[in-house]
Amino acid sequence: MMAFPTDRPRRLRINPSVRSLVRENRLSPAQLVLPLFVTHGTGKTEPIPSMPDVFRHSVDRLQRIVDEAMSSGIKSVLLFGIPETKDEVGTSALDPGGPVPAAVRMLKKDFPGLVVMTDVCIDEYTTHGHCGLVRDNRVDNDSTLECLSGMALVHAQAGADIVAPSDMMDGRVQAIRKRLDQKGFQDTLILSYAVKYASSFYGPFRDAMMSGPRFGDRSSYQMDPANRREAFREASLDIEEGADILMVKPALPYLDILRDLANRHDLPLCAYQVSGEYSTLMAAGKEGWIDIDRAILETLTSIRRAGASMIITYFAIRAARLLAQSDLT
């Protein structure tokens, strides 16, 4: 048995070069995904009060931020849409002229090499703000599947590389895979929000998207934060249904779940550092209570360490720039 004074872990921390040599996990801009809020109309760059430095962009105003992202080494974006009209059944989610399909067409044309992902969920497109169709005051699973697969098809037809269902209806990955394959979109990937918890950390996002539920909450479809074993079941079902990548969301409060899935499954794992994670760090940084730049790199590195191959984060561009001056890559 070796022990002190022979064994001294501090030798491995003696200087930055040695620390870099033995570092177990690295973070690269190519592993970061930038979420973008795309709004209807033109000439719009709207600030979001609860998410400092994040904006809603109309399609004609997207170029600049995507240029910034790509020149800092980011290769993928995830699009969310704010439509002009909403109704009970989310009709505007199926509009090929809506903000998301229009943005996909523009980005695929102007930014070769960019991976374009789209959020597939109807909450932003419905007047009630739920992620599924409402029948008798309940969110109805099976009738929602048609709507979701139709929306995924519209995105694929516009040229999306990856569709990402975030609704948490049962069977939606299967419904989307089937519909895409029938129409010849075998190569469109599905990134499934497989393990999505009913979280308070989505608050600022609902502000940004004007998409909070008008009655009740999302607990009848999103997962109970107290549950761990249920995550295995959700992940296994989505794998059987044809998911290509699995997501855990939110990220930091659920690192144990990420690690569990990394140990158990072979699919690439994605983590979503959600709006509330972003805004709490930004607020503490603004007060001077934490060093925000260090906190960004520390949280993202921790998410990688827990097992994520890729991370969706509103800090993507800032983090990529910080990484360029660090030895963490």
Tell me the catalytic residues. 196, 249
If the CB atoms of residues 131 and 320 are measured against ligand PBG, the closer one turns out to be 131
Least separation in angstroms between residue 318's CB and ligand PBG is: 16
Distances (CA, A) of 161 to 117, 137, 157, 188: 6, 35, 10, 5
Chain residue whose CB lies nearest ligand PBG = 205
| Contacts with ligand PBG, 206-225, as mask; x by CB under 6 A | x-----------x-------
If the CB atoms of residues 149 and 275 are measured against ligand PBG, the closer one turns out to be 275
Residues 159-188 that bind ligand PBG (CB under 6 A): 166
If the CB atoms of residues 130 and 328 are measured against ligand PBG, the closer one turns out to be 130
Least separation in angstroms between residue 255's CB and ligand PBG is: 17
Residues 123-162 that bind ligand PBG (CB under 6 A): 123, 131
Least separation in angstroms between residue 24's CB and ligand PBG is: 28
Determine if 121 is a binding residue for ligand PBG (CB under 6 A).
yes
CB within 8 A of 196, min separation 6: which ones? 166, 168, 222, 223, 247, 248, 249
Least separation in angstroms between residue 187's CB and ligand PBG is: 24
Please count the other Cβ atoms lying within 10 Å of the Cβ belonging to residue 314: 27
The dihedral over CA atoms of 96, 157, 316, 300, expressed in degrees to the nearest 10, equals 120
If the CB atoms of residues 260 and 277 are measured against ligand PBG, the closer one turns out to be 277
Stretch that binds ligand PBG, among 18-26, 119-127, 170-178, 252-260 (CB under 6 A): 119-127
Determine if 234 is a binding residue for ligand PBG (CB under 6 A).
no
Contact assessment for residue 175 and residue 145, using Cβ atoms and an 8 Å cutoff: yes
Q: Tokens for 29, please give them.
A: 């801009």
Report the greatest alpha carbon distance in the chain: 71
In sequence order, what are the beta bridge partners of 38?
Answer: 57, 81
Determine if 119 is a binding residue for ligand PBG (CB under 6 A).
yes
| Contacts with ligand PBG, 242-281, as mask; x by CB under 6 A | --------------------------------xx------
Q: 3-state SS of 52-109?
A: CCCEEEEHHHCHHHHHHHHHCCCCEEEEEEECCCCECCCHHHHCCCCHHHHHHHHHHH
Q: How many residues bind ligand PBG, per CB under 6 A? A: 11
Least separation in angstroms between residue 228's CB and ligand PBG is: 20
Least separation in angstroms between residue 13's CB and ligand PBG is: 35
Can you give the binding site for ligand PBG, defined by CB under 6 A? 119, 121, 123, 131, 166, 202, 205-206, 218, 274-275
